[in-house]
Structure 1
């Protein structure tokens, strides 16, 4: 039975065979031009050849040293490349923010349906709704729940997961504010940023038996575009759309965002007139929450005199003999209310800024829009040019109709009701759930090893 070869080996072998057959009547590249011959034979770049030759040289030297050390009589030193290091066990699941929020939403779905949110119930519900969800085991889900801020708290009936009090409080304040804005017929714009790279492509395509199927051969994501946009019931607000080139991480910062907000708020106010109530809902990205100089607290890295000046400016009395640590503690006891730069800029145009609770991107309808945008770009991006990606972005955003936007908003309204119902239910039954003698809002030390949840 003929030996089976891997696709990678076949591609290399075909390249070598093709080169040798072309040299039946003599060398096509001079024999003394070793590097160029290797480039042609292996079908790789000159740089890759140099890297391989350097690695082979190092391996030879290592083996020669080993022979001298062991006094081996072996004279054949054919270098054996070291295999890449392998990690033992299953790779850790990397969740997107949307997948993390899906866990939180499913948790509250269980509460809404009056089911104890144990890890077993949570995992079975997740997998019944999303069979390909990245987390497939109780252990991984338990680990992710802790990372998301869920706590184990003892109850009179069972040991269950409870959402953080801070998250519950944030949701209550947020829903109260949003409901009031809607009641007052305010125009709501939801904001968010996303990023797309030059090499965006379909995640799954058909491959033939030779390994052909992808439209690009280069690796890596390449240059990226940052997209900052507003979404209302009428679709994306194109006049305020901000698309710009950035690096592989991203280059959004507070200065860029505040400048954009100033322009966007001015445009919205001119479009809607002086009396229309407008609110922009944003998330808690760090560049959204830059404090004004007046409300910025002192930092430990400051010199002692700078902290003293901060106190003096705010007419806070202190003693000259106080140490730097005492001055910082005094300052923190008299911190002014937080004032964000972006809120101050928007207020110039009588526009209110509202922040979505931390780690609750499922409450932002624009997230569904980003999903549609990325799918469109990945299907249509065949030239892998950053200009093409930008054009595709503009095409899709302009084609997002009020019908599409209304669907996004309707979906978010359902998520809001799930959270509201679940939080209300938890408040009603919490007295019965929490053991007053052991109301510890922290992880128990042995919850992973000894207790089934």
Structure 2
């Protein structure tokens, strides 16, 4: 939150995979099922912690484990039955005896009429969050600088490196991490938001300057 790590949200998992695998890619230890279980426990806490009159918002990145969809949107290579079922689910009658190309054209037109594939995607966790009044905002790929929590991760990793040794047992490291997160002071948390807002403002200024420069070039070209 803007003042502290949300009580009840801290969960540090120790993987039972071989250390050689963990060092290569931690994503082997974290999957969509674990994410969904965690979010179903934490989202009600987020909703309850929001001040009166303010909508709770959760910023996440676009990791694949965050993107389990409620229902898949068919593609051109989908079976005829999938195309017919998709249209039927959206109130459009179609026959399995139609040519597949005709069915796909009807599906494609329907998808485009609803703003395209991305607009029609419904994510499982996002839909659950919406029932609690929590809005989930996804960051563009490779834009982690817009998420305050990334600064906390960086501070936590620095703390763990300085507080222990590589020979420490994982249970000890886990306990240190939990204690550090639970005792993070309000000033440090507030700074992460201020830092992200500064980055946003800086990028806005650059974009505005680029737009101004582009407009000035156009004006010069027209006058010549």
Asked whether the two chains share a fold, i.e. TM above 0.5, the reply is: yes
CA RMSD of aligned residues (A): 2.5
Q: Is 1:414 the equivalent of 2:207?
A: no
Q: 2:39 aligns with which of 226, 251, 261?
A: 261
Rg (Cα) greater in structure: 1
1:315, CA displacement in angstroms? 3.1
- Structure having the higher helix fraction is 2
Which residue in the other structure is 2:82 paired with? 306
State the distance in 2 between where 1:404 and 1:385 align.
28
Are the structure 2 counterparts of residues 378 and 409 from structure 1 closer, same or farther at C-alpha, using a change threshold of 3 Å?
Answer: same
State the distance in 1 between where 2:131 and 2:52 align.
12
Are the structure 2 counterparts of residues 355 and 306 from structure 1 closer, same or farther at C-alpha, using a change threshold of 3 Å?
Answer: closer
Following superposition of structure 1 onto structure 2, how do residues 236-255 of structure 1 map, counting pairs within 5 Å? 236-246=5-15, 247=17, 248=22, 249=25, 250=27, 251-255=29-33
- Structure having the higher strand fraction is 1
Q: Which runs of 5+ in 2 are unaligned?
A: 115-119, 219-224
Which residue in the other structure is 2:138 paired with? 355
Instruction: Report SS of the residue matched to 2:44.
Output: helix
State the distance in 1 between where 2:205 and 2:148 align.
20
Which residue in the other structure is 2:222 paired with? none
Which residue in the other structure is 1:279 paired with? 57
Contact 1:235 1:405 in 2 (8 A): yes
Cα offsets for 1:355-388 (capped at 9, x unmatched): 2233211111211111111111122232332212
How many residue pairs are counted as aligned between the two chains?
Answer: 200
Which residue in the other structure is 1:377 paired with? 160
1:354, CA displacement in angstroms? 1.8
Contact 1:297 1:332 in 2 (8 A): no
> Normalized against structure 2, the TM-score is what?
0.77
Are the structure 2 counterparts of residues 425 and 301 from structure 1 closer, same or farther at C-alpha, using a change threshold of 3 Å?
Answer: same
Q: Which runs of 5+ in 1 are unaligned?
A: 1-231, 435-453
State the distance in 1 between where 2:39 and 2:8 align.
12
Instruction: Report SS of the residue matched to 2:13.
Output: strand
Instruction: Report SS of the residue matched to 1:281.
Output: strand
State the distance in 2 between where 1:331 and 1:256 align.
33
Instruction: Report SS of the residue matched to 2:8.
Output: helix
Query: Runs of at least 4 residues of structure 1 off by over 6 A?
Result: none
Instruction: Report SS of the residue matched to 1:258.
Output: helix
Contact 1:258 1:345 in 2 (8 A): no
Which residue in the other structure is 1:366 paired with? 149
State the distance in 2 between where 1:378 and 1:285 align.
26
State the distance in 1 between where 2:51 and 2:213 align.
47
1:300, CA displacement in angstroms? 5.2
